[in-house]
Amino acid sequence: MTQSSPNSSDRILDVLNIEVVYNSVALVLKGVSLSVPKGGVVALLGANGAGKTTTLKAISNLLRAERGEVTKGAIMFEGERVDRLSPNDLVRRGAIQVMEGRHCFGHLTIEENLLTGAFTRRDGRAATMRDLERVYAYFPRIKERRSAQAGYASGGEQQMCAIGRAMMSRPKLILLDEPSMGLAPQVVEEIFAIVRFLNEREGVSFLLAEQNANIALQVARFGYILETGRVVLDGAAEALRSNEDVREFYLGVAGQNRRSFKTVKTYKRRKRWLA
């Protein structure tokens, strides 16, 4: 697998200085720019409320359903501007979002959920069924549960179902929102191993929005850190893992120099990226 920095000329996604406003009043994203190289895995990191989900919804054109809109900037997918397309059109082009919280259809079986991922395709049932078997090869656990209602599946099985449903659309880029949320550590490792596998074997690019910076930076090669709707730091995953402030405030590592809560409350004044 070849993964390069988002500064590469071979990019699948470019988010160019976008601003997002909700209800024509609330400015949520402020000049956010990021890139995903073709065949790359990029992490979008930040605390709850930093703007990660809004960024993904801006890219996948799901903001209008929540009375939000991109008011400035542009979003480019494979070199073409796409922020004015419908979500369906974007899926047909090869970009799809796996929502935070899985959002499986609880009353449908796991297999029925997977088949809904192929609704934009026009290549016939035989091709769809071949891809269904490929998804089951990736996720043998959900193959065993294919006839069970998704609402009764475990959180890990639902996450696998949601990623498998996205794979049924034959994506080039998956926007994966908080895949570790609510899952046991062992299941989280399994989910991220699947992400790595799909990236390496299928060449699918990923933009991972994740609070668990530690595991996200093990899979991604490049990362962006969001705070209050702004990108405050970006760099290679290895550089971010070794950054002193990132280690303390996002990885929970401070060693013998761990500072007290009183000191941490003023951390914004000490972060090098906000200096």
Domain at 193, CATH number: 3.40.50.300
Same domain, residue pair 238 and 249:
no
Q: Is residue 141 one of the residues assigned to a domain?
A: no
**Per-residue pLDDT tens digits for 49-93:** 899 999 999 999 999 888 999 999 999 999 999 998 999 999 999
CA atoms within 13 A on the CB side of 209: 27
Same domain, residue pair 175 and 271:
no
pLDDT (0 to 100) of residue 273: 54
Sheet holding 68-77, edge to edge: 26-37, 11-22, 68-77, 80-81
Residue with structure tokens 């009043």?
25
**What tokens appear for 273 in the block?**
């990226």
**Per-residue pLDDT tens digits for 110-135:** 999 999 999 888 889 999 999 999 99
Same domain, residue pair 190 and 217:
yes
Q: Is residue 257 one of the residues assigned to a domain?
A: yes
pLDDT (0 to 100) of residue 244: 82
Q: Is residue 118 one of the residues assigned to a domain?
A: no
Instruction: Provide the domain count of the chain.
Output: 2
pLDDT (0 to 100) of residue 5: 43
Residues of the chain scoring pLDDT < 70: 1-9, 252-275
Same domain, residue pair 178 and 271:
no
Q: Is residue 234 one of the residues assigned to a domain?
A: yes
How many C-beta neighbours within 10 Å does residue 243 have?
A: 19
Same domain, residue pair 260 and 224:
no
Same domain, residue pair 25 and 91:
yes
Same domain, residue pair 25 and 66:
yes
Q: Show the domain range for 193.
A: 11-102+170-242
Q: Is residue 149 one of the residues assigned to a domain?
A: no
Q: DSSP assignment of 103-149, as one string?
A: ---TTSBHHHHHHHTTTT--S-HHHHHHHHHHHHHH-HHHHHTTTSB
